[in-house]
Chain A
Amino acid sequence: MDGIHDLGGREGFGTPEVELDEPVFHHDWERRACGLTFCAFGLGVANGGQFRHSIERMDATHYLTSRYYEHWLTGIATRLVETGKVTVAELEARAGGRFPLSRPVAAWGVASLPPVASFAVGDAVRVREVHTRGHTRCPLYVRGRRGTVVRVDDAASVPDVEAHADERVLEPIYSVRFESRELWGPDAERAEVHVDLWQRYLEPA
């Protein structure tokens, strides 16, 4: 989905605030939210794609205005409800008020397009212009752009598939190098940006 989580290249956010000697957790609730999320993974309520997508499905304003471990809490609580481990009524009764969850999945059985070719280091590739309503790990800022394969990684489960079905389809992942001017136009800073992309995200350039 083309959600607010897909932040590469978006403007208007200013300078990161860096805290010296930052603690691992800033509040005790962050400590508990982190730990209980790890534990909930052990219950089988989410694979990696399902957990990431549960956070991506948060209301966009909630996403941008909440702390990081609130994302985890909202995502894992959503998955616990979706898998029937707890109910919204139970959560809200316990919390003594509203317990905001993520929005429902837009489309089960997302039309994720199968791969069209395989590639080798040095190949020129273009990122396919696909706008899925479900989960994907293909960032918006590289879609339609041309780059060069610089590394081929082992096949791994395609997130677009595993987030929406109890199914794992394995495909190789390619590290693709993009010139910053290909991404951001002729006035871009001089840089090379590498993005790791599953096979189905790419086509020959």
Chain B
Amino acid sequence: MSEDHHHPLEQSPIEQRVHALEELLVEKGYVTHEAIDAIVQRYEESIGPMNGARVVARAWTDPAYRERLLADGTAAIAELGFGGPEGDHMVVVENTEQVHNLVVCTLCSCYPWPVLGLPPDWYKSAPYRSRAVREPRALLREMGTDLPDDVDVRVWDSSAEVRYLVLPQRPPGTEGLGEEALAALVTRDAMIGVAR
């Protein structure tokens, strides 16, 4: 539970506005502080890129699962217990030696919450949203990923109902690792496509 519900002084204007709306809705009986706490806690603690990393690690170790994941992302992700808002229509796109996938939402901030959690600031930023569809290679280079010219770039603008997850390539030299150890290697950025 947040400590500062009841200190309207010394707040910035945005803090005052959020506080005002929360207190007003609670007073009118529309919401409770506890309901807000519970939602926030879920997105801070149990929903995040560790979920997507488990999906990727399973796909790396189980070829039949990988097939199901690419054929019906929503159902295969549900096999591992993940689903819900912003994850009801999942499409998984696979990176290969020849293909690199990149996910963006140019119109707002659409993002696969059940497998990646809430998006980081840069994903929602004007620089990322404006450039990903126009100069993805230059953008990726500036963000630390220099793609060889012969690799095809496929950008996915999540402008409707589908949310996309990138299945990165399994790193070389990981043949001996089990699913859990592999999951620890999977980054959020690789599952969005800003890392290779």
Residues of chain A having any CB pair with chain B under 8 Å: 5-11, 13-19, 22, 24-29, 31-36, 38-40, 42-43, 52, 55, 64, 66-68, 70, 73, 76-77, 80, 85-86, 90-91, 94-99, 137-139, 141, 151, 153-154, 156, 173, 175, 180, 183-184, 188-198
A153-B162, A196-B161 known; A29 and B15 CB under 8 Å? yes
Q: Shortest beta-carbon distance, B146 to chain A, in Å?
A: 13
Q: Shortest beta-carbon distance, B80 to chain A, in Å?
A: 21
Q: Shortest beta-carbon distance, A139 to chain B, in Å?
A: 6
Residues of chain B having any CB pair with chain A under 8 Å: 2, 4, 8, 13-25, 28, 30-31, 35-37, 39-40, 43-44, 48, 89, 91, 106-109, 117-118, 120-122, 124-131, 133-139, 142-143, 149, 152-162
Q: How far is the CA of A112 from the CA of B14 in the complex (A)?
A: 36
B31 surroundings in chain A (CB, below 8 A): 36, 39-40, 42-43
Contact of B128 among A16, A31, A80, A175 (CB under 8 A): A16
Q: How far is the CA of A163 from the CA of B48 in the complex (A)?
A: 30
Q: How far is the CA of A16 from the CA of B144 in the complex (A)?
A: 11
Having A5-B107, A39-B25, one finds 15 other A-B pairs with CB under 8 Å, namely: A7-B130, A17-B121, A17-B122, A24-B44, A32-B18, A39-B31, A40-B25, A43-B31, A67-B14, A76-B21, A86-B25, A183-B134, A190-B137, A191-B137, A191-B152
Q: How far is the CA of A173 from the CA of B18 in the complex (A)?
A: 36
A16-B127, A39-B31 known; A193 and B14 CB under 8 Å? no
Interface contact A94-B128, CB-CB below 8 Å:
no
Q: Shortest beta-carbon distance, A26 to chain B, in Å?
A: 8
Interface contact B133-A156, CB-CB below 8 Å:
no
CB nearest to A24 among chain B residues: B44
A5-B108, A16-B143 known; A73 and B118 CB under 8 Å? no
A25 surroundings in chain B (CB, below 8 A): 40, 44
Most B Cβ at <10 Å: residue of A9, A19, A29, A154: A29
19 contacts between A and B (CB under 8 A): A7-B129, A8-B129, A8-B134, A9-B106, A11-B134, A13-B131, A16-B142, A31-B40, A35-B35, A35-B36, A38-B39, A40-B30, A66-B14, A77-B17, A85-B25, A94-B23, A137-B159, A156-B160, A193-B155
Interface contact A91-B20, CB-CB below 8 Å:
yes
Interface contact A95-B134, CB-CB below 8 Å:
no
Q: Shortest beta-carbon distance, A78 to chain B, in Å?
A: 11
A17-B122, A31-B2, A183-B134 known; A141 and B106 CB under 8 Å? yes
A14 surroundings in chain B (CB, below 8 A): 127
Interface contact A194-B107, CB-CB below 8 Å:
no
Interface contact B107-A6, CB-CB below 8 Å:
yes
Interface contact B137-A189, CB-CB below 8 Å:
yes
Interface contact A29-B18, CB-CB below 8 Å:
yes
Q: How far is the CA of A3 from the CA of B18 in the complex (A)?
A: 25
Most A Cβ at <10 Å: residue of B48, B127, B160: B160
Interface contact B136-A189, CB-CB below 8 Å:
yes
